[in-house]
C-alpha cells in the first residue's frame, strides 16, 4: 500500500482503493485518505422471495408487464455465449447511445468480449429477438 501511495505521489496521481474491507480501513485512514461509498451489492434470498405487498408493487408491475408482453428470461450457458456476442454488443451500444454515455469501466464494468464469454449470461427475449 505504501509503495502504491508513493508511486501515485511521484507521478502526481490521486490514489484510490476499491472494495476495501473494514480491516483495512484504519490503516488507510492513517494515510489521510478519505472514504467514499461508491455503491451497493444486493443479495436476494430466493427461497422465501415473493412479490406480495405494497413495497414490491413497482417490481410486481414490471413482472406483470413482462408476462403480458411474453418476455422470456433465459440464462445462456457459458459455452454458447460466443454465438450471441454480436447481438449483445449491439444491445450494449444502443443502450450507451440512448444514455449519451460511454463505457463506465472502473466501478460499473464494461462490455468486454473475453470476459463476457467466460460466464453464463442472463438475457431477455421477445420471441427470438434479444432485448437485454
Across the range 68-83, mean pLDDT stands at 95
Please report whether residue 59 resides in a domain.
Answer: yes
Q: What is the pLDDT of residue 71?
A: 95
The predicted-structure confidence for 77-112, as pLDDT tens digits, reads as follows: 999 999 999 999 999 999 999 989 888 776 667 888
User: Could you list the residue range(s) of the whole structural domain that residue 62 is in?
Assistant: 46-130
**How many separate domains does the chain show?**
1
Please report whether residue 39 resides in a domain.
Answer: no
Please report whether residue 9 resides in a domain.
Answer: no
Across the range 113-130, mean pLDDT stands at 92
Give the 3-state DSSP-derived string for 30-48, with helices as H, strands as E and coil as C: HCCCCCCCCCCCCCCCHHH
Please report whether residue 77 resides in a domain.
Answer: yes
Query: CA 132, CA 91: separation in Å to the nearest integer?
Result: 7
Residue positions counted in the chain: 132
Q: What is the pLDDT of residue 106?
A: 67
Q: What is the pLDDT of residue 102?
A: 85
Please report whether residue 64 resides in a domain.
Answer: yes
Q: What is the pLDDT of residue 44?
A: 84
Please report whether residue 10 resides in a domain.
Answer: no
Q: H-type helices in the chain, by residue range? A: 2-10, 25-30, 57-68, 85-98, 113-116
The predicted-structure confidence for 7-59, as pLDDT tens digits, reads as follows: 999 999 999 888 888 999 999 999 988 888 777 777 888 899 999 999 999 99
- Selection from 25, 2, 5 nearest residue 15 by Cα: 5
Please report whether residue 89 resides in a domain.
Answer: yes
The radius of gyration computed from the CA coordinates of the chain, to the nearest angstrom, equals: 21
Please report whether residue 32 resides in a domain.
Answer: no
pTM for this model (two decimals): 0.62
Amino acid at each position: 500500500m505504501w509503495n502504491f501511495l508513493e508511486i501515485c505521489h511521484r507521478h502526481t496521481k490521486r490514489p484510490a482503493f476499491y472494495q476495501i474491507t473494514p480491516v483495512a480501513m484504519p490503516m488507510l485512514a492513517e494515510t489521510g485518505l478519505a472514504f467514499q461509498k461508491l455503491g451497493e451489492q444486493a443479495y436476494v434470498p430466493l427461497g422465501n422471495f415473493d412479490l406480495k405487498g405494497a413495497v414490491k408493487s413497482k417490481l410486481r408491475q414490471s413482472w406483470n408487464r413482462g408476462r403480458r408482453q411474453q418476455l422470456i428470461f433465459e440464462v445462456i450457458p457459458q459455452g454458447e455465449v460466443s454465438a450471441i456476442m454480436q447481438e449483445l454488443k449491439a444491445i450494449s451500444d444502443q443502450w450507451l447511445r440512448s444514455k449519451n454515455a460511454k463505457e463506465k469501466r472502473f466501478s460499473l464494468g464494461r462490455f468486454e468480449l473475453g470476459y463476457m464469454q467466460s460466464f453464463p449470461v442472463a438475457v431477455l427475449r421477445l420471441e427470438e429477438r434479444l432485448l437485454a
